[in-house]
Amino acid sequence: MLLGAFMASIPAPVPEYDGITTTDDYIFAINTAGIGGDVDTFAVSQTAVEGIDAQMGAAVSDKQYLRAGMSSTKTGTQRTFKVTGDRYIGDDFQDFVFSHDIKYGVGQAVTVEYVWFCLLNGRGEKGKAAIIVNSDGSGTAGNTASIDVDFRKTGDAPEPFVYEPTSLPLEPLTVVSVPGAMAGETSLYVNPPLSGGNSYVVSTGAAVSLPNLDEVLDEGWDAWNGTDDIEATDGHQIAVVEIDIDGKAKKGGKATVYANTGD
């Protein structure tokens, strides 16, 4: 699962949150593209994951000074994340981590960006880590295949991070317009068909734009039952968007209008 889709499925973080947190309130996601890109495209560590052990190992220099005794100076911090659970084939996070290139890669080939933050207030850190695969499917007969992966901070110190969603595109719909039965109308054919519980809205004009994923549509969009002809101007554009029961856009596509001109 990608971070943007995951965050869209839960309540938005509240920066002023005040209270106890649990292990489930934290999320770890990595950039499977390596370095650069929107965090909403990062792969979330969740499916079949039993635990994420986030540790901060301090490097300390101990010295004894005249008439002062022992003194400790912190010289650094090594951030690590240990991900354990069961192997799940088909998950974005696991399939990337257990790919051949990552398991046997070295140096920059196994260095990725990561984010680690609290889902309640959206605050955490963003940094770079080296992936070390310790086990890609161990266990005894009859048991699930266990996984064990370390992510160790590399390069510059992680930076403070606050989650802010980026705009994601809709899943595509193929829209075909043909002349309708009456003058000034068009018939539309849309593929794939509606998902259960969802409905269509349409908009037409000289130029129309598709909304972003999960955008709530109101003015400028009309309900459509998926079969009736629609009044539209030949040569204009028409957009069809599939929305869920909350009015959030999920899929969309557009086409040039071919209307019945009455000729």
Tell me the C-alpha distance between 47 and 32, whole Å.
16
Q: What is the pLDDT along the chain (263 residues), one digit of tens a residue?
A: 899 888 878 888 999 999 999 999 999 999 998 788 889 899 999 999 999 999 999 999 999 999 999 999 999 999 999 999 999 999 999 999 999 999 999 999 999 999 999 999 999 999 999 999 999 999 999 999 999 999 999 999 999 999 987 767 789 999 999 999 999 999 999 999 998 899 999 999 999 999 888 888 877 899 999 999 999 999 999 999 999 998 999 999 999 999 999 87
pLDDT of res. 226: 95
CATH numbers and ranges of domains, the chain: 3-162 (2.40.30), 171-256 (2.60.40)
In terms of C-beta density within 10 A (0-12 exposed, 13-18 middle, 19 or more buried), how is residue 128 classed? Answer: buried
Q: What does the pLDDT read at residue 112?
A: 96
Cα angle 169, 15, 165 (rounded to 5 degrees) comes to: 10
* Gyration radius of the chain over CA positions: 26
SS3 assignment, position 148: strand
Give the pLDDT score at 218. 76
pLDDT for res 225: 96
Q: What is the pLDDT of residue 4?
A: 86
Q: How much is the pLDDT for 229?
A: 97
pLDDT at 164: 87
Give the model's pLDDT for residue 100.
97
For residue 160, list its beta bridge partners: 125
Long-range contacts of 23-26 (CB under 8 A, 24+ apart): 23/51, 23/52, 25/118, 25/119, 25/120, 26/52, 26/54, 26/116, 26/117, 26/118, 26/119, 26/124
